[in-house]
Structure formats: structure tokens, C-alpha cells
Structure 1
Amino acid sequence: MSAAATVPVTDRQAAPIAARVEAVLPVLRADAKQIDHDAAFPVRGLAALRESGLMGLLVPSEHGGLGGSLTDLAHVAQELAGECLSTAMIWAMHCQQVAALVRHGSPGLRAELLPRIARGEVYVASVTSEKFKGGHLLSARSPLTDEGDGALRFDRDAPIVTGGGHADGFLITLRDGVDAASHAVTAVYADRDRLTVEEGVDRWNPMGMRGTHSIPLRLHGTVDASAVVGRRGAFKDVAVADFVPAGHIAWAACWLGAVRGALRAVLNLLRSPAGRSQFDLSGQQLRSRLARVRMDLDAMAALLAQVTAESDGRRSAADAESQPVQLRLNALKIFTAERSFACVDELIRVVGLRHGYMRHADLPLERLFRDLRSASLNYADDRLLAANGAMCLLDREVSLAG
């Protein structure tokens, strides 16, 4: 178990969220290049996030957290990703798990776990991927078995667990029994020290998102019945109401924030004395490319704000499952994944080979080009496009926001 942050809870709750973010950014800025080079987990970045209280952003204030909203999540994710996309995604995915725990954890689980998350003691990783089914959320193969007296046992292989080697706890999806259908999925929470955790032999060495350290894990052990998150066999309800919205909003905010940070860096270069001597700032092609990037940023930000406001204002599970809401939620993920990658490609064209393509360049464009290539693969866009196409056929009124 990682060491707890030392700031008292009362002080932690009093400090503005913006001040907490500002305290963390220098660490992310200093370490981003090195964790990408080494494909290493951002140990210092996570320690700074623990200390800041931001690990408990979505934890209600009565449990010692900041009581933040999804709007707060989107804002903080953008700021963190402007310095290090890998660290931002690690934090954002932790918040996705916390959103599910806050809304769907049992009273006993919430009372015991949420204060520890708020104190920075628990980083929660997601265990939803599985061999032969990939990252499909609403199916599972490994069964949860009843051992009697409320004990539940499982043995779970996962090919990818973001930050799994450093997580203090896990939110795990399982088939609800040996004889249950694959779509009868149950989620449970387990502390790391309650499990046997075996890391796979495959070294994490991807093209991008290298700091997320998304390794294979095998987890087996026993939890109490109070560890079930939501109803047995009904993880779909958790996913539709909170898990997916928080995830799509968090991912989109990270991708948007990374490109926003990249555009700021490019504009600073162009407006510097060295940039003014190297680039023709009055050139139509340069200005057109900058304009397209800015338009894409504004479009992504507008869609993110719309979907986030809908999610924060939602009153019922039926609202969450409505076709127009689901269409916009999936569109947020797809559109931001596609356009964020396209924006970095365009910015590389703006600054050229020396500043945009070389690994040793001061601008982060080469790293972000590799990082953002994963965005459309991170829960595949093709799967979401197929789902949205089916819903389009049913929504004959073409129900748009507003």
C-alpha cells in the first residue's frame, strides 16, 4: 500500500482545485520526456497527485473528498494532459473507477474505501479487458464463485491493466457465476493486499502512451459480498449510468488538453524572436493550418461541454440510456479521438521536420503524435460507430442537443 498524503483532510478540502492542479503541473512537465523514453510509470507524478488531494476529486465531501463534478474532472484532465498525457490518463481512469464506486458501491464499501481514496492512499485501476473478448465492457468470461458465508472468489487474467503494477486497488468485471451468461457481468472492488497479483512477462513497450505502463495481470483471491459494485450480474447499469460517461468525458478531456497544450507551445515558438525569423507568420498556408487546428479545438471543447453538462445534470438511469444521449456520448469519444490526432498532424506540418518530427525537439509534437494514435484504438472507434449507426436508424427525429 502506498504511503498516505500528509496534508490534513480539513486543509486538503479547503484549497481550491486550481491551486492543487498548479502544484502538480511542474512535476508532470519535468518528467514527461523521461517517462516516455523509458516507458516508465510516472511515480513522481502519481505521488504529487496523491499529495494534492486530486485523487479524491469525485469523492463526496462527507467522506473527506473534494466533492467535484464531471465538469471539474474534465477541467483538471485537460490541464494535466497539457503537460503529460500518460499521467493525465492514469489519473482520469482512476477517477472513472471512483465515479462508479461513489454511485454504486455498497454503504460499507463506500464508508471504508472513499476516505482512503480522498487521503491519496488508494489509486484504483480498471480490470475490464480479458483474453478473447478484448475491452468489451458488457461481457465477461472469468466467473465469480460463491464460497459461502458471503465470500466471493475469482481468478482473473487481464491482458492490459493501466498502471496495474502500481495500483492499490482494482475494480474488476467478472461473469456472475460459472453457469451465468457472458453478459451477466458483476463488478467487484478489491484491495491489492487482499489478492495474489502476478504480473505478465510481456514488457510494456508500445508506440505511445508509454508512461501508462498498461501491463498484463493475473489477479486471484476472495472478497466479501459488500465488495460488489452495483447489482449482481447488472454491471450494465453501472456502465451506462456512470462508468462509460465518466470514461468518455475523461478520455476526451485528456486528448483535448494535450492538443491545447501543443498549440500553446507552437504559438509560443512562432511568436518568439527565433520563430519570427524562421517562419512566415503572414503566410496563408501557415495561417490556414493554425485556423483549422483552432476550429477543431473549439468543436471538441463545445461537444465536451455539452456532454459533460448533460451528464452532470442527469436525473435518472433512463435519461442516461436514451438514444440521443448515447449518440452524443459515443460521438464525443470518436470525434475527439479522430480530431485530436489530426490536429497534432497539422501542427507538425506547421512547424516542420526540425520542430515537429524529431524526437529531441523541444516541442512535444512527436510524442503526442504517437500518444494520440492510440485514441481511436482505446475502446475501438469502429465498435462505437457501429452502435451509433444502429441508434441513428432508430432516432428518426434526429434529436439534437438544445
Structure 2
Amino acid sequence: MSDFDLYRLSEDHEGLREAVRAVVQAKVAPHAAEVDDKSAFPQQAFEALRAADFHAPHIPEQYDGVGADALATCLVIEEVARGCASSSLIPAVNKLGTMPLLLAASDEVKARYLPPVASGEAMFSYGLSEREAGSDTASMRCKATPDGDEFVLNGQKSWITNAGISEYYTVLAVTDPDAPRGRGVTAFVVEKSDEGFTFGEPERKLGIKGSPTRELHFDNCRIPADRMVGERGEGLKIALRTLDHTRVTIGAQAVGIAQGALDHALAYVKDRKQFGKAVAEFQGVQFMLADMAMKLEAARQMVYVAAAKSERNDPDLPFFGAAAKCYASDVAMEVTTDAVQLLGGAGYVKDFPLERMMRDAKITQIYEGTNQIQRLVMARQLLR
């Protein structure tokens, strides 16, 4: 890809965007309010995305997937988030859960677990955070103790997206407690049906209510050693490499949420009349709209460049992934807040989707590393 290609999407990418947008408008967005209101998993959206192969587009063709590149996957997530942020976590978390496998798993593990995700038979979640190990992932306490040809898993994981819905989980656990900090962690695939593996109650959240968030609990849960992802002791390194790639998808989700909010705000201010003219004709409103659109487009371009770097696995991906996620999520929070303001009282009630979008935007500043952590990541890259 040349430098110029970064600034113009290919015809294939534009065609993909239109295809996803059509599915979202017809079969995802109409259910978004109900999904949010009932805190219900968006099953209709899942079925629509699965039917169109948009539920896990990143899975390579050799594992029966469609083999979408990183930018194409971001376009899918962006367009789904434009209509329903909860539903966009279907493709986003499928990528998050499987990325450790794509980066480090044996051919046997990939062949066993990726095809069911590609077909939509199974979803894949990611278990890294714990109650006392959020930003400080190296302080995790979940343990996997070797026992013959198995590991015995004990402990818990917190804030796990799509927990209870997903069939498979990439779980990080301490296998070598005496190893130097961060070097005794190993990644495993855990299956929903494994004995000793249970879920906590669903969290009661501010936003993304259609995507269940629960704790994972392990009580002498036995895992065959052949489910290890990568080498023993390499788990944290794999986890952090995973986040370099998947933070870009959170940036795409944030861009989609912000675009959805801007769409609705524009339609409203053109239609709503005050003092004898459309609200859109007031210069103060026009300046707000211009700033919203300007920052949104800057965020979009940053995400697309980061996606191109993710596809190439460029050495500066850690900086660009963190920057794209951080900037786009800050923009999403600002744009959705301003969109609520532009609707006035109407923006504050559930008759319009803006208050939902504002609530949904907030999590993009928190998960897959808070934006404070993103700034640490960027600074570390700059100071190297």
C-alpha cells in the first residue's frame, strides 16, 4: 500500500461499507432502542450479521472465514456502531478473542477454534482483566497450575464482554508465579462447557447494554495443555500485542457512534424551527456542527491509517493503535455530548437515540485500556 492509498478507500472497501450500511439500516438499527431498554443481547442483529458474513470478517480464508483485512474489519465495526454500539461488539470482540490465536497459536489450535467462529456457530471472548488487575495486567492472580497433561485453573476475570454468550474464551493466567513480573503468564482457550467454569451476574451498565458484561469464575477448572495459546510464559506479551491490533477496532467503534450521533443531530436541526427559521440556520449551531464533523473526520482518518498499519504489522503500530483509540473515543464522547445539546430537551429523552449514543460512547474511553493508559503507551513509544 502506498502512502497515497491511505487517503482513499478502494472500491472494494467502499462497496463493503455500503453493504454493511444496508444490513444495519434494515436489520440492526431498528432494534437498537429495544436492545438498550431491555439489556438484551441483540440476537436479531447477530443473525443478520452472520447471514452476511459480517459477524467475524477478520477470520482468514484458510479457516473458512472471508479473510477481511484490518481496514475492512474496521469498516464493518464502524458501520454497525453507527446504528447500534452493542451490536458492533459482535465483530469487535470476535476479533479480540481470536487475535491471540492468530498471532501465536499452533496450527492445531487455530484449526480447532477459528472455523466455528467463522461460521457463526460460536463467538469468542477475551479474559485479561481482574478486579485488582485492570490497567496493571501484570498483577493478575488467576492461576493455571500444571497437573500432568492438564492445567488446573483457579481465579476470576472481570469486565468480560459477551460473557455467557460466547462459546470460547482466551484466558490469561499465571503459570509460573516465581518468574519475573509479567513473564509467568500463559494464554489458554477455555470452553463454555468446561467443568468448574461459571459466570457472575450481568453487570448493570451505563451503556452498551445489549452486550452482556460478566465475570468469569474458575474453580478447579481443568484445561488440556494442548489448548495453550503460544508458549508458556509468553501470555502477557501476546495479550499486549493483541491490544495493539484491537485498539484500532475500538477507534472504529467510536467513529461509528459519533457518526450516528452527528447524522441524527443534522437531521434534527434542519427540521426543528425556532424564531421563525430552522435551528441549522443559526451560526452558533453551524459552528458546533463544523467542529463535530471536523474532529470526527480527523478521528476516522487516524483509525484508517492505524488499521493499515495493523494489517502490515508495522513497528509503529503500538503508537498509532493507542492514538487512534484514544483520539477517536475522546471525539466520540465530545460529539455525542454536543449532539444531545443540539437537540435540547429532546436529546435528553429516549424518544431519540442521542442519549443512548452518549452513554454508549463513554465506554470507548475506558475499555481495552483507559485513555490515560493509551497516553502512557504513546509516550513510551516516543521516548524509546
Shorter-chain TM-score tier: 0.7 to 0.9
Change (3 A) 1:388 1:336: same
| 1:25–1:179 CA distance, 2 compared to 1 (3 A) | farther
Return the match for 1:336 from 324, 328, 331. 328
Match of 1:163 in 2: 162
**Deviation digits for residues 142-167 of structure 1, max 9, x if unmatched?**
2211111x322212312221111211
Q: CA deviation at 1:301?
A: 0.9
Percent of aligned positions with the same letter in both sequences? Answer: 22
Structure 1 counterpart of 2:350: 359
Distance, in Å, in 2 between the alignment partners of 1:41 and 1:275 is 40
C-alpha offsets along residues 199-227 of structure 1, whole Å, 9 cap, x if unaligned?
A: 224x5221212122201221342222221
Contact persistence 1:256–1:300 (CA under 8 A) = yes
How many angstroms does 1:137 deviate by?
Answer: 4.0
Aligned length in residues: 367
Report the Cα distance in structure 2 between the residues aligned to 1:297 and 1:41, rounded to whole angstroms: 28
The offset of 1:126, in angstroms, is 1.1
Which residue of the partner structure matches residue 308 of structure 1?
A: 307
Distance 1:56 1:343, change over 3 A: closer
**Which secondary structure does the structure 2 equivalent of 1:96 belong to?**
helix
Instruction: Provide the C-alpha distance between the structure 1 equivalents of 2:272 and 2:200, rounded to a whole number of angstroms.
Output: 50
Structure 1 residue identity aligned to 2:296: L
Structure 2 CA distance for aligned equivalents of residues 75 and 210 of structure 1: 22
In 2, Cα distance between the equivalents of 1:206 and 1:90?
18
Report the equivalent of 1:348: 340
C-alpha displacement at 1:48, in angstroms?
2.9
Could you list the runs of 5+ residues in structure 2 that have no partner in the other structure?
Answer: 1-14
CA distance in 2, matches of 1:25, 1:223: 42
* 2:259 maps to amino acid: R
Counterpart position of 1:281: 280
Cα separation, 1, equivalents of 2:301 and 2:54: 25
Report the TM-score, using the length of structure 2 for normalisation: 0.87
**Alignment match, 2:358:** 369
Q: CA deviation at 1:47?
A: 3.0
In 1: Cα distance, 2:18 partner to 2:83 partner: 15
Secondary structure, aligned partner of 2:280: coil
TM-score norm. by structure 1 comes to 0.84
Quick check: 2:255–2:299 contact (8 Å CA) kept in 1? yes
The letter of the residue matching 2:101 is L
Give per-residue Cα distances to partners, 1:100-129, cap 9 Å, x unaligned.
222322111111222211111110111111
| CA offset digits 1:257-302 (Å, max 9, x no partner) | 1111221222233344879976333211011000000101111011
Instruction: Quote the residue 2:230 is aligned against.
Output: 230
Q: AA paired with 2:376?
A: A
CA contact (8 A) 1:208 1:371 kept: yes
How far apart, in 1, do the equivalents of 2:95 and 2:82 lie? 18
Determine if contact 1:252/1:337 at 8 Å carries over to the other structure: yes
Could you say which residue in structure 2 is the equivalent of 1:399? none
Q: Which residue of 2 aligns with 1:258?
A: 257
Specify the SS of the correspondent of 2:281: coil
The aligned runs of 1:191-202 (5 Å cut-off) are 191-201=191-201
Aligned to 2:7: none
In the superposition, relative to structure 1, how do residues 170 and 325 fare at CA in structure 2: closer, same or farther (>3 Å)?
closer
Distance in 2, Cα, partners of 1:18 & 1:108: 36
How far did residue 94 of structure 1 move? Answer: 1.5
* 1:245 equivalent in structure 2: 244
The aligned counterpart of 2:95 is 95
Letter paired with 1:45: A
* Alignment partner of 2:372 out of 372, 379, 382: 382
Are the counterparts in 2 of residues 106 and 226 from structure 1 also a CA contact under 8 Å?
Answer: no
- AA in 2 matched with 1:124: F
Question: Following TM superposition, by how much is the alpha carbon of 1:57 offset from its aligned partner in structure 2, in angstroms?
Answer: 1.2
Distance in 2 separating the partners of 1:21 and 1:96: 22
Shift of 1:247: 1.7
Whichever residue aligns with residue 336 of structure 1, its letter is A
Alpha-carbon distance change, 300 to 340 in structure 1, aligned in 2, over 3 angstroms: same
SS of 1:57 mapped into structure 2: coil
Query: What SS does structure 2 have at the residue aligned with 1:211?
Result: coil
Asked if structure 2 preserves the Cα contact closer than 8 Å seen for 1:186 and 1:234, the reply is yes
Aligned residue in 2 for 1:134: 134
1:215, 1:279 → 2: CA distance?
45
Change (3 A) 1:343 1:21: closer
Q: CA separation in 2, counterparts of 1:106 and 1:122?
A: 20
Contact 1:175–1:181 (CA<8 Å) still a contact in 2?
no
Unaligned runs of 5+ in 1: 1-14, 396-402
SS of the aligned residue for 1:159 comes to strand
Label 1:181 to 1:291 Cα distance change in 2 as closer, same or farther (>3 A): same
Give the aligned partner of residue 4 of structure 1: none
Q: Is the 1:357–1:366 contact (alpha carbons within 8 Å) kept by the matching residues of 2? A: yes
CA-CA distance at 1:46 after TM superposition: 2.3
Task: Describe the superposition over 1:332-372 as per-residue Cα deviations: whole angstroms up to 9, x where unpaired.
Answer: 12111211100111222222222x11222x3x111111111
**Partner-residue secondary structure (3-state), 2:326:** helix
